[in-house]
Chains A and B, each alone.
Chain A
């Protein structure tokens, strides 16, 4: 108990302790790796959000048509595929057989931007797939729900063009449940970093956590867990605030 309080008070002062294995302060260790994980995480989040909402919107609007028949089964595959296995599959296809992309590693974008971009394609695809598929599914069912509402029928009957109805009336209203998922998606993406950084050999937070478990470097395991939790909490706070902006009915007192 006393140890724990000492640890908490030191963490609050910005001191995460010292790694036994690396013989370096944990703060410094994380400072080197967090930007890499955050880089992949932010890119994946953007990819997942944009493609997830758009594909879900498309599938919902063209329900039962070709677009829906492609998106819906793909989204199902997306939520069932183990991402570490997907990574290996991609490495095999694009890295080893076709030789289009490097099979792993991380180079700073300031050193060699194009190599960095090529190295990141596969990790970002893997990291975003789960979030993308969940958002797409949620978006599809929420579009179907919104399309039944009276105000959409009114919009159609007063002769608005389809583009205006979809982007002005439907998009914003169907986004609300998807926003909730965005918080989860960030958790999935950062949680997935432990797999992605292992498969693609990227020196980020996820691999630091896994290797520290094997090195029995518990100070580092503790610190990485804490940072991951803090990231997810922060994003969820932003999500909660953004409800009010999307839905004026929700107001915080």
Chain B
């Protein structure tokens, strides 16, 4: 699918572009991603070892630990964060992690919620753009 525009709700503001990294299963950033390398370290995750840095990270929902906000902020500081996060369910922890990262370092990682039906349209590796108005463009 190309040239499609999907509407979502921005939990953390910003605009970003990158390749979609569509996760097959939910992920907890804490315990799931090493902020030093940006790689998925959770051994049970099907995408174990994959690097999330610079991607538009697409996942059905966040999972687990409340420390994920810190891991997101630290990965922004370390330059290993995804360019944007697209979720199928609202998540306060990631939204506020992104807000603090912007406050501390001036870097925005937009966090967008799409309804799960629309989220399912996104294909791994597609070039996508998140816009300031909460739309998501698939090139």
Partners in one complex: no
Interface residue ranges, B against A (CB under 8 Å): none
